[in-house]
Structure 1
Amino acid sequence: MAKITTFRKFLIAINVLFLINTISAQEYTINFNVNINEDEIKDIASIWHDYLRSNSKEHWKKEEVKALENFNVQNMPSILNPPLLDWKLNNRILSISNISDNKYILKSAFFNNDLEIFAVTNVIVEKINNEFNLSNYIYEYTKDWDIKERAHIKYIYTATFKVKSAEKFYKNLCEVFNIEPELITYFIAEDCDDIYTMLGYDFFISKGMGTECGYFESKNNFVFATKKGGANHYHEITHFINTFYPKANDLLLTGLSAYISGNKAHFGKPLKYHIDRVGNYLKTNKEVDLSNPFDFYFMDKETNPQYVIGALLCDIIIEKKGREGLLRVFENYGTDEELLNYLNKEILNDNESLNDVLRERIHTFSTNKKFKNRLGF
């Protein structure tokens, strides 16, 4: 059974409200300026809307379908959850522009029944063997970027950036969690908006809302980082292990990404920074009860307390049970109820409460000058 944390329930509730308003009808239309009297334009428009109705691979470029598990990179859950096409939005083709021999850019808008626009997207359409195929915009956008390949990480970046590889961290990560490394394709963009532009979003509901972010697309092992995050965005690389521990509780996986990520644990800041902020918040908010750590999912826009709580739970488990103990928890205690029961019975002493233990650990790390994880990263 799938596990859902309180934080995830909160996000799902928001999504359901939107879906109620968008799922009642889907319309696929074409703007007046798109000349469908031209045979090629008419064919391209038809293929795009057929694809949206079916999400079929038959309309996509075969090389990309073969190379990518998620062949439409733009439609990734890390960017919008659920992914854009799962929202069952209306679509209107805005333009179809020829950019070179046998290659077009198709621009379209996704909107709900109240005409609220979620995204304006670009997709490439290529004519191959006299047949039109859809293709990811990311490859057109980055075609002149530099490429640097290491043993298990392929960096794609602009020439203005200097790459210092995260290969050593990635190797250590795989060794600690008993998994074989796979190739990660790692894109480095200017900022968050540039990541969205790279994916083909002219407009997106998250555009303009932040300058620092990162994403891991698990189906294709793609990392998207900003220049500030750089080539060593350990937080996103850590998400590589998630698919190998499908039963692991979301709070622990969230915490782990911050626990071992050094100076870029969360929103580009060290974990110690966020522990201090959570500590100060708890001092003035005595009513917050960490005995159910899943309920403390919002503090402010600068710190998500789930990263701190999850990281400290990993630290407590490793302290009591070692690395192998943490892996056993990942494998066997997936639901919130199972994890909470394990913590109360196997980790805490008879006279301890999780609220007191977590508050004390937050206080301890707040007073120390530097946070050091127990996994050696």
Structure 2
Amino acid sequence: MIKIKFLSAVLILFFQLFYSQFKLKSISPSINQEDSLNVKIIETVERFLETQDPKYWLESDFKRFKSPYYEIIGIESGKMESNFYQPSLMEIIPTNEADKKIVKIAYIGYNEKTKSNLIKAIYNIIAVKRNNEIFLSKYIDYYTKDWIIKKEDNITYYVSPMKTYHIEEAEKQRKDIIQLSHFFKIEKFPILYYSATSPEEVFKLKGFDYHPMMYADTSGGFAADYGIIISGNNSEYYTHEIVHLYTAKLFPKIDPFFDEGMATYFGGSGKFDYQWQKEKLKKFLKENPDFDVLKHLNIYERLYFEKETPIPYVVSAVLCEMIISKFG
């Protein structure tokens, strides 16, 4: 236990040193710095940005999200150089709760060659007053405060008010979970499923008003620690990402190639199931006989066929199917 605590302390120190940022580059004149609460918020935000010390964050967030501010770890780096994008405080916005305010931070870099400013992202944090101290918190609860909540078996759905809840998709998801639990020999566990309309809304859930990737795709989402699914597919069905929750529990060191292969085998990829994807792979290989599969096993390579089939994902899924059919 002592060794584990020591290792945890070393890892926290490493992240603080490696990813430490600078003080706020600027503070918008629209922010009232004569307001005592705003002054406390600015002080806390600056200390956190300098150190990324977890002590400035609500402890309850770590119990729910494991790493509640991972989205901005390393965000100051870009193609220009490391630490190119510096944080600027844009707004401190009141909410309908006296002890909570929205803190809006922009990450902006100045290009000396072009004499122009470049924006990387705009990120929201909730500042919470507790016992005359300020703590920071993840934006997701505030953003989803008016979302519809539906409970289906072991899944709690948070449904965007901009979409319709589909009970038939939730039922299909329930049946898939029964099959997954049987295959992986693991009991069903609680899943928190955020059902958003699009990747743009997914990024807003994560706290971003703007991020360069929020318009890159028309569908997608991800699985997060502690049984969380965030879907931008306008659907209550996302078996691909739910598979990742199972593999994370059973095989925390699983190779990403096979992790995506298993997820694709059971849940397809994007809007299409595995059989559809496999037929597209067959077509792709027939049309590209010189294609060397072994040179394209990196699942982070954005290699798509007909804009729908991620080649490395499906290749891995085929290998998984072969292994399962032969060895069980």
TM-score grouping bracket, smaller chain normalisation: 0.7 to 0.9
Mark the CA change 1:178 to 1:86 in structure 2 (over 3 Å): closer, same or farther. farther
1:220 and 2:220 correspond: no
The 1:156–1:29 alpha-carbon spacing in structure 2 relative to 1, beyond 3 Å, is same
Instruction: Measure the CA separation in 2 of the matches of 1:315 and 1:65.
Output: 37
| Amino acid in the other structure paired with 1:109 | A
User: 1: CA distance between counterparts of 2:263 and 2:289?
Assistant: 27
Q: 1:295-333, CA deviations, whole angstroms, 9 ceiling, x for partnerless residues?
A: 6952454321012101100111112212xxxxxxxxxxx
Aligned to 2:11: none
CA displacement 1:275-312 (0-9 Å, x = unmatched): 23332322232221235562695245432101210110
In structure 2, the residue matched to 1:266 is: 269
Q: Which residue of 2 aligns with 1:84?
A: 72
Cα pair distance change 1:69/1:304, threshold 3 Å: same
| Corresponding letter in the other structure for 2:43 | S
Displacement of 1:84 in angstroms is 2.7
Contact 2:19 2:74 in 1 (8 A): no
Structure 2 CA distance, aligned partners of 1:287 and 1:70? 44
SS state of the match for residue 143, structure 1? coil
Give the 3 Å change call, closer, same or farther, for CA 63–292 of structure 1 in structure 2: closer
Choose which of 103, 106, 109 in structure 2 pairs with 1:109: 106
Shift of 1:194: 1.0
Instruction: Check conservation: 1:293, 1:309, Cα contact below 8 A.
Output: no
C-alpha displacement of 1:140: 0.8
Assess, with a 3 A threshold, how the Cα gap between structure 1 residues 235 and 132 changes in structure 2: closer, same or farther: same
Q: Give me the whole-angstrom Cα distance separating, in 2, the residues matched to 1:280 and 1:36.
A: 63
2:241 aligned with 1:245: no
Which residue in 2 is equivalent to 1:342?
none
| Aligned partner letter, 1:271 | Y
Name which of 264, 283, 288 aligns with 1:285: 288
- SS of 1:232 mapped into structure 2: coil
Contact kept, 8 Å, 1:118 with 1:204, in 2: the verdict is yes
Structure number having the greater strand percentage: 2
1:121-172 deviation digits (Å, cap 9, x = unpaired):
1111122222222122110111122222244211111453233242332232
Identity rate of aligned residues, in percent? 24
Report what 2:297 is aligned to: 294
Q: 1:145, 1:24 → 2: CA distance?
A: 35
Tell me whether 310-319 or 140-149 shows the greater mean CA deviation: 140-149
Q: How does 1:39-78 map to 2 (within 5 A)?
A: 39-72=36-69, 75=70
Q: Does 1:152 align with 2:154?
A: yes
Which residue number corresponds to residue 143 of structure 1? 145
For normalisation by structure 2, the TM-score amounts to 0.78
Query: Quick one: which amino acid aligns to residue 238 of structure 1?
Result: V
Q: Counterpart amino acid of 1:96?
A: I
The aligned counterpart of 2:320 is 314
- Counterpart of 2:292 in 1: which secondary structure? coil
**Cα–Cα, structure 1 residues 118 and 180, in superposed 2: closer, same or farther, change >3 Å?**
farther
Classify 1:226/1:91 alpha carbon distance in 2 versus 1 (closer, same or farther; 3 Å): same
Residue type at the aligned position of 1:233: Y
- 2:212 aligned with 1:205, yes or no? yes
Residue 40 (structure 1) shift:
1.8
Native 8 Å contact 1:191 1:227 kept in 2: yes
8 Å contact kept, 1:52–1:85: no
Do structure 1's residue 170 and structure 2's residue 167 form an aligned pair? no
* Cross-structure match for 2:81: none
Mean CA deviation greater in 30-39 or 115-124: 30-39
Mark the CA change 1:142 to 1:299 in structure 2 (over 3 Å): closer, same or farther: closer
Q: 2:311 aligns with which of 289, 294, 305?
A: 305
Shift of 1:112: 4.5
- Whether the aligned pair in 1 keeps the contact of 2:28 and 2:89 (CA below 8 Å) is no
Q: What SS class does the counterpart of residue 87 from structure 2 fall into?
A: strand
Match in the other structure for 1:276: 279
Q: How many residues align?
A: 287
Unaligned runs of 5+ in 2: 1-17, 77-84, 112-116
Partner SS, residue 308 of structure 1: helix
Q: Quote the RMSD (CA, aligned, Å).
A: 2.6
- Matched position secondary structure for 2:128: strand
Q: Quick one: which amino acid aligns to residue 215 of structure 1? A: F
Q: How far did residue 248 of structure 1 move?
A: 3.0
- Counterpart Cα distance in 1 of 2:22 and 2:222: 29
**How does the TM-score come out when normalised to structure 1?**
0.69
Local SS of the residue matching 2:140: helix
* Cα distance, 1:183–1:24 mapped onto 2, change above 3 Å: closer
Larger mean CA deviation between 290-299 and 149-158 belongs to: 290-299
Relative distance call for 1:168 and 1:302 in structure 2 (3 A) is: closer
Q: Which residue of the partner structure matches residue 257 of structure 1?
A: 263
